[in-house]
């Protein structure tokens, strides 16, 4: 579930950057920060999901 939310955040951030590029009037640079931080947050969520998955595997292997 966390991985899916991470992918959604990454997709939303990329969509935000593309939307800012398509504007006729250039947006200020700080407007791109929101989209970039969404992508970074999505990558962090994917990392957390992978870490939790690894922890689950280690717990299962330790009790086997």
Q: Which domain holds residue 34?
A: 2-62
Q: What is the pLDDT of residue 31?
A: 85
Q: How many domains does the chain have?
A: 1
Residue segments in the chain with a per-residue pLDDT below the cut of 70 = none
Say if residues 5 and 45 touch (Cβ distance below 8 Å).
Answer: yes
pLDDT at position 63, please?
86
What radius of gyration do the chain's Cα atoms show? Answer: 17
pLDDT at res. 30: 85
């Amino acid at each position: 579930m966390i991985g899916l939310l991470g992918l959604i955040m990454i997709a939303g951030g990329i969509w935000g950057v593309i939307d800012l590029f398509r504007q006729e009037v250039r947006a200020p640079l700080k407007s791109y920060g929101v989209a970039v931080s969404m992508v970074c947050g999505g990558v962090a969520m994917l990392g957390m999901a992978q870490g939790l998955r690894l922890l689950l595997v280690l717990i299962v292997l330790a009790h086997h």
